[in-house]
């Protein structure tokens, strides 16, 4: 199970803060060590657009992410800078070079 998450900021002036917040989110998630969770963040060529790839084995792991302190901190920190709520697209893996 995977989710593609698209984040759009109100202003390019928030790019650096969003980058730092995503980096802090990943550090926090690593420290929580939620079994089976993989979260990667990407900047795009557009300074107001970012992408997250959330991979998890089941709904319980997804819920553990959603309930995690690092995610709550991230949401509270950068939520006000979003132009709209993050857009999510469910993905189904069909092939990968990963493990």
| Percentage of the chain exceeding pLDDT 90 | 90
Cα–Cα separations (whole angstroms), residue 12 to 1, 40, 48: 31, 21, 5
CB 40 within 8 Å of CB 23: no
Is 91's pLDDT higher than 90? yes
Q: Over the stretch 62-89, which tens digit does the pLDDT of each residue have?
A: 999 999 999 999 999 999 999 999 999 9
- Helix axis angle, 15-32 to 69-78, nearest 10°: 170
Residue 98's pLDDT is 74
For the entire predicted model, the pTM comes to 0.86
Domains of the chain: 2-91 (3.30.70.100)
């Amino acid at each position: 199970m995977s989710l593609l998450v698209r984040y759009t900021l109100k202003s390019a002036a928030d790019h650096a803060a969003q980058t730092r917040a995503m980096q802090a989110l990943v550090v926090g998630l690593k420290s929580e060590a939620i079994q089976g969770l993989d979260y990667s963040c990407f900047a795009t060529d557009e300074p107001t657009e970012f992408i997250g790839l959330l991979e998890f084995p089941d709904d319980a792991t997804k819920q553990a992410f959603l309930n995690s302190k690092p995610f709550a901190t991230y949401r509270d920190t950068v939520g006000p800078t979003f132009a709209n709520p993050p857009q999510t697209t469910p993905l189904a893996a069909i092939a990968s070079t990963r493990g």
